[in-house]
Every structure is written in structure tokens, then in C-alpha cells.
Amino acid sequence: MSNSATAAQTRSAWAIAALLGVVCSCDSGTTGPTGPVDVGPSTGGCPDLGGSMTRLPEGFCIDRTEVTRGAYFAWLDTGPTTDGQPAECAANVDFLPTCATTGGWGLDRYLDNPVGCVDWCDARAYCEAHGKRLCGRVGGGANPMDDYNDAAQSEWFATCSAGGENDYVFGVNYVKDRCYESPESGWGTTGVATHPECVSPDGDYAGVYDLGGNVAEWENSCNGVGADARCRIRGGSFKHTANGLRCDAGSTLSLPRHSTDDAVGFRCCTD
């Protein structure tokens, strides 16, 4: 039996288990190659569901880390339905990451690493299911693509740039390996918040990890409402370095709404 066939069967079994609400052994305690910083509970009165959050000067709350595989699989364990998705996501028939069980990535492994291989609609659904939203426009809703570098409009950019102060999450100037980037990465993700210097030097924005590198992050910022629209991905990933990690590197980085990439995950925001 080929590896791909095995993987397909595993995915199928997982989908059935998720459909039946079967609780898997995803919380077996296995961690990624390096342990993450314990970011603790949410602060600023932000909700704790689906990931620890912090409140920023702009008033909104944002996840302190990329959504982890563990958190995402725990949500899949609840058997979320694909009914009720908005029209642009009607073609999204399941929430399973396309690489969840391939390349040696068992469902009980690397639970502290960011989830990848999810499409924009999967990311949207996860955030909505936890009473949050996929980070988009300050105040809620989609951020127009042209406002990608406007700290008064883009929740993701405001956080990364500390309200427009900085070009990289860690400051004005690029510093190699502050964040998890190429080539240190060896072409794969690492646990979230394992790079304690990959945060803002501005105390009002510090405590939000990996806005540069590890996985790039879907933003609620698309060039249309259709299924084929392209949506922004932010912050670069383990496949990027230097300018690729700029907070405004979203100028050319986008993917079709229903596409997936092992270097693209997401985080959520709320008010």
C-alpha cells in the first residue's frame, strides 16, 4: 500500500470519527520538537476560548499565538458542521487540514505547532466557532486589500507593526533569527512561542508571538467575495527570511481562498 493511500484512508477515518463526534487521543501530551513558552491565560478581559488572547491599544483582542494543531484538532473532535458557511465558502466541504496526516504528521503529534494546510474558509470557521473572527479590519469585518499596511485599519498589521511604529514585529530593523525563519527552520514549522524575541519591543504590543515566520497567517482581506478570490497571507513563514518577514510584506502575498499550504495557518481576533 502506498503512503498516499494510507494517508487517504487515515484522513477518511478521521473525517468519519469527526463526523461521529468520536473523541480521539489527540491530547496525549506529545509535543513538538521544542516546547513553547507558556503564554498563560488571556488578559485584558479577552475570551480564552480556542487560544490565549491579549487586548491592544486599538481596542481589539488578538490570539497571542498562531492557532495550534492541538487546538484545531480539539475543535475537529467536536464534529463541527460545514452547514451555515457564507456563500463564498459553500464549496468548503470539510475542515480537515490537507496535510494533517501526511509526512509523518500523525494526529497526535506536534500539537504545539501551528496548524497549517487549512484554507481561508477553515480558518474563518474555527474563529467563528470560538466566538472570534479571522483577523481583518479593526472593528470587525473584512479589511480591503489595499489597506494591508494601514495600522488604523488592518488588525494584523496594527499588531505586527505596533500601531505603525515598526517594519518587523521585533523592531524597525531586520534581525536574523529573531523569528522562526529560513534557513534555521529546515523547511518545517516549530512550536508556537518558541522564539521569545519574536515579539514587539513595545510593551503595549508585546506578548503576541510569531507575527513573523513559523506559518504565514490568513487575513480576512480578499479581492472579492467569490470562491476564487485571493486572500492575503501575512508575516512570512518558515519558508521566508529578511524582507519576507516585514509586517507590510502582504503587498504581493495572497492565495486563492480554497487553497492550502503547509506554511500557512492563522490566528483569530475579537473585540
Residues at the interface with Ca ion (CB under 5 A): 92, 119, 122, 210, 214, 235
- In this structure, the number of other CB atoms found within 10 A of the CB of residue 56 comes to 23
Contact call for residues 62 and 140 (beta carbons, < 8 A): no
For Ca ion, the closer CB: 111 or 193: 193
Q: How far is the CB of 81 from Ca ion (least distance, A)?
A: 13
Q: How far is the CB of 1 from Ca ion (least distance, A)?
A: 25
CA 150 – CA 233 distance, rounded (Å): 15
For Ca ion, the closer CB: 26 or 100: 100
Contact call for residues 18 and 79 (beta carbons, < 8 A): yes
Q: How far is the CB of 6 from Ca ion (least distance, A)?
A: 21
Q: How far is the CB of 176 from Ca ion (least distance, A)?
A: 16
For Ca ion, the closer CB: 25 or 243: 243
For Ca ion, the closer CB: 92 or 166: 92
For Ca ion, the closer CB: 28 or 231: 231
Across the strands, what pairs with 114? 68
Q: How far is the CB of 125 from Ca ion (least distance, A)?
A: 8
Burial (0-12, 13-18, 19+ Cβ within 10 Å), 245: buried
For Ca ion, the closer CB: 26 or 245: 245
Which residues lie below 8 Å from residue 67, measured CB to CB, with a gap of 6+?
50, 51, 114, 115, 123, 126, 265, 266, 267, 268
CA 17 – CA 93 distance, rounded (Å): 16
For residue 38, report the phi and psi dihedrals to the nearest 5 degrees.
-80, 105
| Burial per residue of 125-152, b for 16 or more beta-carbon CB atoms within 10 angstroms, e otherwise | bbbbbbebbbbbbbeeebbebebbbbbe
Q: How far is the CB of 142 from Ca ion (least distance, A)?
A: 19
CA 137 – CA 148 distance, rounded (Å): 9
